[in-house]
Chain A
Amino acid sequence: MRDEWFRADRLPHIYCAGCGNGTIVNCVLEAVSMTGWDRKNTVFLSGIGCSSRAPGYILTDSLHTTHGRAIAFATGVKMADPSLHVVVFTGDGDLAAIGGNHFIHACRRNIDLTVVCMNNHIYGMTGGQGSPTTPLGKTSTTTPYGASETPFDLVDLAVAAGANYVARWTSFHVKQLTEAVLNGLNTPGFSLIEVRCQCPTSYGRRNKYREPVDYITHLKAHAILKDKWESMEKSGQDMPADSFPVGEFVRRARPVMGVPDEA
């Protein structure tokens, strides 16, 4: 059961009301509890940021590391002891900005990690600065006139860099997200599950989605299933503004590192 994986003495957590991170932790723990893994042999890691507080609420060995470096730490853990199951929580700033190099190299090595990126398009912990995934034109404290830089597409990045499993969902799609995380956990090699989630406090407040329900309705409305997205692209339709494809983007069996020897 999922409840057994929480450090109940640490709850309620520090996330703001309506924050998507709590939902994602639920889904990840639901998936982990479905794998039948032993809590003793499971390690959760994270870097710095809102997302990265998650391992502190999970009753396993957990490593809350420095900003952006979680995947590098995870590489050490997994390579030194491949019998451990290693899951990394990270955010968009953590993964795509300061940790971008570690991210693409872990994809390239195809190390047997599952990385869950809570992408809320903003630096929430520090009060709402623009991140590499802040959509064009959106307001943050460091983009007061609207973001002028093209955002990263984390899914494309992971696919291009060689990850074995890549999926994207939103914090509304809890069932699909749980299944995607489960697939990621079960796929040998590097798995990235990007979750577009709401940050009502820092992002929503400045971008007309102050209420969590409004925000998640927006995410739901702009998430287009991958197949539909591709057929829309083929037929040359204009994509609706702010929309993005969701679904499973890659599942393959390239050579991997960090899995236990067969012997």
Chain B
Amino acid sequence: MGTINEVQEEIVEEFSLFDDWMQRYEYMIELGKSLPLIDKQFKTDDNIIKGCQSKVWVHADLEEDKLVFTADSDAIITKGIIAILIRVFSHQHPDAILEADTSFIDKIGLKEHLSPTRANGLVSMIKQLKMYAIAFKTQLN
């Protein structure tokens, strides 16, 4: 498993193969299908990320000193977005997650999802993943 930056670069490279938004969206939808799905018992209202028009559930577990995320969404574009974020953040140390810069989203042509007013709540998703990192960091110390 590479560092957060390495994984981000890998994703940027994959997306650079496509010339138009439609192919990028199709790829994102494809990535959503490989999302590590959240266990049914964690798919509760408590684990829904607020600020999204569609529902996104996220759960985190600690494996040694790394965080492992699972998630799901009822919308497939959102599922693709959370799948990309989880691919970047999963199997990483909480410190690395907290320090991570997420401007790669811009580079893969999903800039419109970065606006805080956007109803899909990409910003809320990143915030929530970082919140898990803070919570588990205190457990590690």
Q: Do A and B bind each other?
A: no
Which residue numbers of B lie inside 8 Å of A, CB to CB? none
Which residue numbers of A lie inside 8 Å of B, CB to CB? none
